[in-house]
Amino acid sequence: MKIFLDTANLDEIRKGADWGIVDGVTTNPSLIAKEGRPIEEQVARICDIVDGDVSAEVVATEAPMMITEGLKLAKIHKNIVVKLPLTRDGIKACSALSKEGIRINVTLCFQAGQALLAAKAGAYIISPFVGRIDDMGMSGIELIEQIVTIYENYDYPTQVLAASLRTVNHVIETAMIGAHIGTMPFKTLDMLFNHPLTDKGLEQFLKDHAKSLEKS
Ligand code: E4P
C-alpha cells in the first residue's frame, strides 16, 4: 500500500520523506489554510520535497470554473493530482479533465455508489473518508471494502485512497483490505512506529551489549 501524508505542513512532510516511506501527499483547502500561503506556492514546495502524487484541491463549485482552476493547478508540477469534490459539477469536471489527461482525485466520498460514479468519470483516485464515517457511528473500513470489491468486479483502474485515517487500526485494516493508498496525518504515521516491546527489547539489547564490553 502506498502511504501518503495528509498535511500541507512542510516540516512534517520533510520528516516523513526523510524516513523514506512517503509516496505522496494529499492536501485540502483546510490544510492549506493552516499554513498561511497561497495554494500554488505551498503545493510547489511540497512537490520539491516528495517525488510522488501531490493532491491539490479546487475551491470552485461550478464545473466550468473547476475545469479552469484544475488546469491551472495541474500546470504547477507534473506530480500534481487535481482534487475535485464528489458533487454533480465535480463529476462533470472530472470527466472533462480526465479526457484531457489530467489526473483527478475525487474527494469527499462517503458511500460506494459515489465511488462508482467517480470511476465512470475516469478518476485516477477516489478518496473515501474512513475517520469521518466512523465519527457518524458507521464503519469507514466497511466502505473501503465495498469500493475495493466494486472496482475489482469491473477492473476499474481508479485507485482507492483511504482518507481520514486516524488510528493504527485504520491503517492496518485498510492495508488488509487491499486499498491502493492510505493517507494519514503525520501523527498517525508516527504512531505506526510504536510498540512497547520494541522499546523494551532494544533497551535490553543495548544493556547486554554494554555488559559484554565491560567484560572484554
Ligand atoms: C483527504 O484527502 C482529506 O484531506 C483528509 O483525509 C480528511 O481527513 P480528516 O477527516 O482528518 O480531516
Share of the chain above pLDDT 90, in %: 99
Quick one: CA torsion of 142, 147, 153, 154, rounded to 10 degrees? 170
Quick check: CB of 164 below 6 Å from ligand 1? yes
Banded model confidence at residue 216, pLDDT cuts 50, 70, 90: confident
Q: How far is the CA of 38 from the centre of ligand 1 (A)?
A: 19
Quick check: CB of 183 below 6 Å from ligand 1? yes
Quick check: CB of 132 below 6 Å from ligand 1? yes
Exactly one of 2, 75, 83, 215 is catalytic; name it. Answer: 83
Q: How far is the CA of 136 from the centre of ligand 1 (A)?
A: 15
Banded model confidence at residue 66, pLDDT cuts 50, 70, 90: very high
> Could you tell me the CATH number of the domain that includes residue 176?
3.20.20.70
Give the model's pLDDT for residue 12: 98
Residue ID of nearest Cα to ligand 1 atom 6 = 164
What is the average pLDDT score of the chain? 98
Give the model's pLDDT for residue 215: 84
For residue range 130-181, list pLDDT tens digits in order: 999 999 999 999 999 999 999 999 999 999 999 999 999 999 999 999 999 9
Quick check: CB of 107 below 6 Å from ligand 1? yes
Does position 90 have pLDDT exceeding 80, yes or no? yes
The torsion region of residue 184 among left (phi > 0), alpha (psi -120 to 50) and beta comes to beta
Domain of 6 in residue numbering reads as 2-215
Does position 95 have pLDDT exceeding 90, yes or no? yes
Number of domains in the chain: 1
Q: How far is the CA of 5 from the centre of ligand 1 (A)?
A: 10
